[in-house]
Chains A and B, each alone.
Chain A
């Protein structure tokens, strides 16, 4: 009996051993219940925000990008103005939450626009910025880190100094300085012109300030890989640098890079919201969760939901990303040292 168990164990062990590391990591990730729940929440948020136009056209019947200062809505059996005159007779206050999905679920903002529809649309922009700047950041950082680590010498010196400068710069100050200049003027690089209101600006700014966070560890990993036997073997068999980088080094760097991705996206979303709240991230007419928090600032004590709702969305998405990120780390690179959300 005991022998039988032993044999079964052995067979099981060899089966696991023969599985590729990718597949076994993925399998481990799939078995992590917290991470899978987080992934579900994340997908839910993505799908809901993608349905924004559908909601606006078919349920709320309005365009949340057009001011609606004169509009009237029906609540119960009464018609009420979207912008209600204050009891003092001075100024107006937008209508509060109706808690009714067909109209002004979360109330209106200071221009009479449907806050719930805007939160849905804003989520698309926030998630787009978070994911695309995360992707750009990780791609650029991996390329830079691999080049610096593999070629060493002058290449390494130039890239490392470049990273050192960004690293030493207080991140928020760098992001804010770049945003202030670019958001008012746009970026003009001869052939390429990016308009001042373009979403590309916050995406590129956020991507570039976090490059050193990923590039530095990648460089370190490549440095140690370079001395391993399989690289020496590749060099000895006459493989080109390009081939070695692509076929030998990249697959070994990927697990560590993948671990960074969800955490970077969370960090990017928080950075975007900070910049947009300060008025130097996403520019109108576009809206993001950050800009809606900013809109809510003036209505904080009369219509708090304008500020509360987008913030809760950010917290939900970032918590999910961090929990999922922890699961990815445990599965792909358990020894990775990551600091909190950075």
Chain B
């Protein structure tokens, strides 16, 4: 619902469909009949935010509560922002068209470090004071959740509270408490002190941080009885956990324009670079019955003709073949396709291939992550070259001719030999194609080897590691290109400077709040978009604030250093991460959760794979 003031802006912007709401299944309520108005803010443009599953789940769930109206808010593209500022139209929610400054709660989802400046820009566009201490009333409470909330410190000055872990329960508990305190006219301080007692709530203003002379953290001291550590929330029974039966269906094309079913949470693998693999432990599956019903309901209510079976590693679902068979009982008749976004190199079978191909063909992407077996053991990516060759041969037999391989460069202990190994692996895949008697006739093969730069993240065994400097990363990128000897292998890579910025904010502390504020005031926004990101501008800002970004990105921490996120607890023991880090340096792999428990600590959540019977190891 948009009003005349907004309509007038739309004549001058690209893709006005981003800014109007009114889509199929969007939830309309009467603002006078609800107690809590919640603005679900995604700090990127509509097409990106609307593709995000977490938004779909929480939007629908909050709106099932009669007294809450949850609305969606996205970052406007620069043309729309310019129009809004010129005409003094504040940031508004898509459902009502109302300015979000009058909302009770403004919630952001933190998916990506380079979207942090968009958060400040959105608050500013809404006319909401940026710093928590400058917002005095109980309403206009600014909250956040999502994976980047695992180290919320670079954003600590701006947010009133963070949700740690999975949001389905804790969001509702906090909103319920808010409603009670609002009715009783209690103060924001009283509310925050009470909210901090809910498991999974982190109120940054209730923790005092002191620093050593070398700028490392000295101590983290809680106040007003706030807990330390703050333990994450987790939904232990996915079958009973809320999942929407309908999604808002955008008018305009978005990044992932399809039905998304979540088949499992967590990952059994324990790749040492992967933050999600640790944050979402323990591994929990949804049952075939529940997934099948959820897919069918969603397709019925949206009209989408494609289902994506989403998770960190869908092919690790123990009943994947049964699931796809079950889905096929109705998808074929309804002309609906099934796609698997994440396939593993070591369990891609002919059977699975024939099943996903039967309706529609999508490209094949695998992630060996490193070019040599030694380095794959370092990062605990337990796939072998043999696995990869078997898999690509299966794919070639099935008629695929383009394969994309993902790698990382800048991994701990990496040498130029490992980099050359990436090109060699690409070459071996090309060779396998030509040696394959069943290859499609008259077609050439294309193997894309895509190399992103490794960013060390909190709550991984590599959280103490320095990131390679940009010079080293660029040298390695050039070495990769030089190592490729055929046009059938196409190398590509990510810019090292954005990876550097990610590394700074991923492991940053509260001293970065001032940097973010300065960046916002200097006009930094949409840093995840190459057309906006300016590395030189950022370097000026760091200089102006007297902060050395290399302190965060390129410094090796010692195991006994107090880390800025040490008061946040994802159930993974620090001693386990240290042990894993040491094993990485001795090229030793760790078995996956299905093979053997490695006592990471996630068993404290009392469920999931930690309590399942393991397959016989005989």
User: Are chains A and B native binding partners rather than an unrelated pairing?
Assistant: no
- B contacts, CB < 8 Å to A: none
- A contacts, CB < 8 Å to B: none
